[in-house]
Amino acid sequence: MRADARRNYEALLAAARDLFQEQGPDAPLDEVAKRAGVGAGTLYRHFPTRNDLVAAVYVADIDALCDAAEKLAAEDPDAALGGYMDLHVGFTLRNAGIKKAIKEMLADGDTRPGLTLCKTRMTEIAGETLAHAQDAGAAREDVDTVTFLRMLHGIALACEENPEMAPAMLEVMKAGLLRGA
């Protein structure tokens, strides 16, 4: 890919991320192009459909979440769990609209390999982060990855209308899950 194409692609992702978080995944695509500083033709050549753009934003954000989680784990693998929980719920709350759009996309059979891959990566990193903490005695051992992720998802769902309640709920979950802090 040419340098100008790569630059515009990233600019479009960033603009779309911002606009989708502000106005939801149905925000006007011409506005996305405008914010990215490119023409509408450029947007449609990179992302032929709205779903292509929504999925690309989501995948990029999941990858960023995983990168941040890996960085946390590299710094202190035994104590990264609490930070991971904050990252995960914060991410889910910021992307509630996009996530809903992704869900509808999948329900319509409009799947793409990137979505499956990034979800797998996230599950693996969550599992590794949990396992590290459990092995180090920093977290109770009777909670598996699926339960852990379900609880985080539940908190994000419960806080959809009131995101400011999330920290308190996370605190409770940490109190129940983490040890020695």
How many residues contact DNA, by CB under 7 A? Answer: 25
- Minimum CB separation of residue 14 from DNA in Å reads 14
Does 112 sit near DNA (CB under 7 A)?
A: no
Enumerate residues 48-77 that contact DNA by CB under 7 A: 48-50
Is the CB of residue 128 less than 8 Å from the CB of residue 98?
no
Nearest to 42 by CA among 18, 21, 11, 87: 11
- Minimum CB separation of residue 19 from DNA in Å reads 10
DSSP 109: T
Enumerate residues 23-42 that contact DNA by CB under 7 A: 26, 28-31, 37-42
d(CA 131, CA 47): 38
Task: Name the token pair of 95.
Answer: 């992307």
Is the CB of residue 175 less than 8 Å from the CB of residue 133?
no
- Minimum CB separation of residue 101 from DNA in Å reads 13
Using the rule CB under 7 A, give the single segment among 4-12, 60-68, 80-88, 134-142 that binds DNA: 4-12
> Strand pairing partners for 178?
139
Enumerate residues 7-26 that contact DNA by CB under 7 A: 7-9, 26
**Angle, alpha carbons 173-175-126 (nearest 5°):** 50
Nearest to 98 by CA among 18, 6, 7: 18
- Minimum CB separation of residue 44 from DNA in Å reads 4
d(CA 35, CA 32): 5
Nearer to DNA, 7 or 35 (CB): 7
- Minimum CB separation of residue 46 from DNA in Å reads 6
Task: Name the token pair of 152.
Answer: 């985080």
- Minimum CB separation of residue 10 from DNA in Å reads 10
Enumerate residues 141-180 that contact DNA by CB under 7 A: none
Nearer to DNA, 56 or 81 (CB): 56
d(CA 97, CA 77): 32
Please report, as ranges, the residues that interact with DNA according to CB under 7 A: 1-5, 7-9, 26, 28-31, 37-42, 44-46, 48-50
